[in-house]
Amino acid sequence: MQTVTRRGFLGSTAGAIGMVLGETASRTVVAATESDAKPQGLRVGMLTAPFGEKPLVEVLDFAREAGIRCLEVVADPGSKHIDPVTFDAAKADDVKRMLIERRLEISGLASFSNACEPGGSEAFQRHARRMVDAAVLLGVPTLCMQTGMPLPNMGRIEQIRQIVAKVYAPITAYAKEKGIRIAIENWHETCLQGIDTFECLLETIPDDHFGLNYDPSHLVHQECNYLLPVRLFGPRIFHTHAKDTLVDAEARAHVGIYGRGWWRYVIPGAGSIHWGEYINHLRTAGYKGVLSIEHEDSALGREQGFILAARHLAQFC
């Protein structure tokens, strides 16, 4: 059993073609027209990263066929989906037209670059502002980002207080001015690891436009309570990733908790998370947003993984 690298899967399998199941999900989707009322209730979405080499129109077509109504769209520099560096009003109109035609919506623009890269804060902030501008043109409410990787000779709590807060202060201020929210993913290899780091981040940056893109899967192998952040930070959860973690207890007993290969990421329903219970907690906390499938399951092809994950989540939405 081999541990799947967090971001390595997205790059290495972006071109893999999974087995397309003959029957696609048939849930009704809500038209993403400008005249629509705000969507009600939880709905299933997807992070577009595994389709990185495909144009956005092909990703939208797949999402429609799979019954996935929302997209968390990769917006890195040079992205084939949305590139904030070259994005303008005309391109925004084209994207909105494609969404309306397919009755889809964009839940967030995503860029998971390293916010704490030494010497890289200005470039990071510049791109974040461009993402805000693109989100405004599209009517997208949320940017999905990360805190950055741990720095040497500095603890996570210290880094959040001294580095992350400074990097995100101008970004948050600009986003708030434009009515856009910043949602930070809790990937365990960044500064955001245990629940104590969640507390530190949200206390250090208390702005109501700064919150979480919460992913429960990153807490499972740490043996943290993945339901607890929903209760503690519910109003600051702006977006969620839907990904599961499969734990091989026998392998863990053999190699120990510091060994490798005893856990890996899988699609929702194939791991340890009880999705009905988790989603019920989200509802209780007042969350009415997206469950964005982040497909990093090495046992399944690209399309197959998204389709199966969407079917599992749809029964609770």
Q: Are 266 and 244 in contact (CB under 8 A)?
A: yes
Q: Are 159 and 150 in contact (CB under 8 A)?
A: yes
CA dihedral of 48, 54, 55, 61, whole degrees rounded to 10 = -70
Nearest to 238 by CA among 190, 290, 198: 290
Please give the structure tokens belonging to residue 20: 């397309």
| Rounded CA Rg of the chain | 19
In the chain, domain spans: 8-14+26-314
Confidence of residue 41 (pLDDT cuts 50, 70, 90): confident
**What's the whole-number mean pLDDT along residues 206-224?**
97
* pTM of structure: 0.87
Please give the structure tokens belonging to residue 250: 């026998």
Distance between alpha carbon 308 and the CA centroid of its chain, in Å?
18
Q: Are 245 and 297 in contact (CB under 8 A)?
A: no
Contacts of 190 (CB under 8 A, 6+ apart): 146, 147, 148, 149, 150
**Digit-coded pLDDT (tens) for 106-139:** 999 999 999 999 999 999 999 999 999 999 999 9
CA dihedral of 161, 115, 182, 226, whole degrees rounded to 10 = -70
CB count within 10 Å of CB 66 equals 23
Confidence of residue 17 (pLDDT cuts 50, 70, 90): very low
Compute φ and ψ for 34, nearest 5 degrees: -70, -20
**What's the whole-number mean pLDDT along residues 276-292?**
97
Where does 8-14+26-314 sit in CATH, by number?
3.20.20.150
